């Protein structure tokens, strides 16, 4: 497994190396020792306490979601199908604050995203069905949920497909300008 850096500070992509033969394939999707060694944090992998999975139909957008308070770290991968995955750095002191980056996650290359605390996250399903798996380092607390509309003009996310469905919650999410004002210290 290789671990690659991204344009976003502290976000990395875990790149499994599948073994393929006539039977199909085998790949290690996570290695705690390599993960901890790359991050330089002994025991970071053991902090993941919850695994979740979503299934979405082609064109569905989930996001843009984040977590306030201490935030949450997560590993995200697409176990079946493909998604257009988007992150936005919402850490006011970060050199990449407000920067967004998109990634393709699919069941061919098995790339995973390590998303540290302090990011908005969302994705669009690119295939008829897409299963996204999340490994999260904290129990969910709905009181800490943050959200920005997937179509916010200030974020200007280029979703690759026409949008078919979004949840009521995501459709009612606030603006990037409003969230940014609550995150940026007053001068």
Instruction: Give the pLDDT band (50/70/90) at residue 14.
Output: confident
CA dihedral in degrees (104, 57, 75, 77; nearest 10)? Answer: -50
CA 143 from centre of chain: 20
Determine which one of 80, 134, 150, 187 is catalytic: 134
- How many domains does one find in the chain? 1
Catalytic residue list contains 134: yes
Q: Is the pLDDT of residue 121 over 50?
A: yes
DSSP state of 171: H
Closest by alpha carbon to 159, among 78, 90, 62, 72?
A: 62
H-helix or E-strand spanning residue 111: none
Closest by alpha carbon to 73, among 25, 21, 121, 38?
A: 121
Domain around 178: 2-183
Catalytic residue list contains 150: no
- pLDDT reported for residue 41: 67
pTM of the model: 0.87
Determine which one of 38, 65, 80, 114 is catalytic: 65
Task: Report the percentage of the chain scoring pLDDT > 90.
Answer: 67
Instruction: Give the pLDDT band (50/70/90) at residue 184.
Output: low
Instruction: Give the pLDDT band (50/70/90) at residue 119.
Output: very high
Closest by alpha carbon to 91, among 125, 61, 75, 68?
A: 68
CATH code of the domain containing 52:
2.60.120.10
Count of beta carbons in the 10 Å neighbourhood of residue 106: 20
Rounded Cα gap, residues 82 and 105, in angstroms:
6
Question: Distance of CA 47 to CAs 57, 74, 153, 187, Å?
Answer: 31, 10, 36, 35
**For residues 55 and 26, which has the higher predicted lDDT (pLDDT)?**
55
Who contacts 184 (Cβ-Cβ below 8 Å, separation ≥6)? 92
The DSSP result for 23-90, as a single string, is: TEEE-----HHHHHHHHT-TTTGGG--EEEEEEEETT-EEEEEEE-TT---EEEEEEESEEEEEEEE-
């Amino acid at each position: 497994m290789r671990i690659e850096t991204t344009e976003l500070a502290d976000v990395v992509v875990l790149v499994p190396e599948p073994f393929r033969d006539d039977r199909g394939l085998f790949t290690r999707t996570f290695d705690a020792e390599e993960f901890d060694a790359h991050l330089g944090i002994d025991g970071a992998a053991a902090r993941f306490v919850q695994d979740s999975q979503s299934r979405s139909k082609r064109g569905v957008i989930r996001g843009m979601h984040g977590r306030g308070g201490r935030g949450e770290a997560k590993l995200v991968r697409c176990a079946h199908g493909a998604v257009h995955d988007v992150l936005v750095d919402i850490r006011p002191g970060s050199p990449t604050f407000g920067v967004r980056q998109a990634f393709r996650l699919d069941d061919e290359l098995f790339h995973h995203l390590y998303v540290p605390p302090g990011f908005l996250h969302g994705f669009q399903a690119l295939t008829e069905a897409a299963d996204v798996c999340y490994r999260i380092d904290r129990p969910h607390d709905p009181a800490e949920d943050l959200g920005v509309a997937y179509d916010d003009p200030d974020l200007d996310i280029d979703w690759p497909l026409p949008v078919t469905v979004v949840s009521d919650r995501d459709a009612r999410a606030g603006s990037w300008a409003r969230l940014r004002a609550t995150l940026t210290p007053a001068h």
